[in-house]
Structure 1
């Protein structure tokens, strides 16, 4: 009798606790969702402004980025036919001879590779090309030593290496843009040239030093899967390094002024 009474009393409390937990979880989820939307909207508008992207391209760019993470454009094919392998570089049309098949290939992800690289190359037209080349070279040399190569699997930029590469891209862009400004070598009409230079140098530097220079270490001939440059989409080191460098370069002077004692 006492046992039955104990169970009867605890059920309403359990139901009440479940409802409270669900409400708390819902509030936390809504708050995080709102903060995420707010954060990404700020970042997106900042990227559009600093990289010189026309406002009318905003919606098409979002759609392309969303669906592009599922698309890998083939750059290098490893084909096999009757026990022999042959290769195609930058295949425009993939035509297979009878009895042959694609064993593996290296691709370029649209969201994580193609779009950041195209936007980075566009900055050569808008900003200071020499500054981008210098920052790109510095980032490429440093990122070369901070990646982890897993033969047959992929190339990964370490967590500490990611932040080192990003901060170096930011600082190098600020230093060289300031120097070129003093020498009168900057392009007029573009505000905060160091921001797009940091983005372009970060993207192109990690692409060259982190990925392209390490392709030989992947041993593509032994791979039976797809290897994709920028395959993680916006979470890949190429896009993430460029966007992070852009954000840090944008806000670092503001933070410096807040903590300045002058």
Structure 2
């Protein structure tokens, strides 16, 4: 397990002053007007945890520093990144864009997507955590801006008119994203609960069928099938579950 301890971001959404904050371990709430940098902040924090920079290509900031506490290492790692300016004749390669098909319900959406900016990478204060990707969940809540270049093709009319994405389409896409994230979380928690139940049951059986229990019940050191049955039945009777 891990969590973000603090962050400092220069030039977030065009700010003159750096934005820096110490975070609570459990819940943190950020609010502000549209364009104030809420989504950009979340993308930077997600990028630092995931140790990936693809998501930062269109995020307005100059540099960032994120401190992450790792329970496994029992210490804080500080990651930093600088968004360098790219000159027109720079040798760094940046792909212009690509058309990325996506789906909303049964309709295909064609979205222009900027590719990876090659000149950005996170550096770490400790070599031990340089390549670490800390497990976390991230659900972007930004709404898609529908420009004249973004349209989706209906299956019923793939080459016909170009209907635009509606508020209902966007709400449906966001709701499905939340549903997928919740399903994944529920499955993970169910696995944890099942493992705890199995470990608890195993501990109970070890106690009920221990050599000491066998000697007290049967006066012998050998556990037979009949003795095991009697011991388990006696345990269930004490739990008022005789019907089992």
- Name the larger-Rg structure: 2
TM-score strictly above 0.5: no
TM-score by structure 1 length? 0.25
Higher helix share: 1
Where relative contact order (Cα < 8 A, 6+ residues apart) is larger, the structure is 1
TM-score by structure 2 length? 0.27
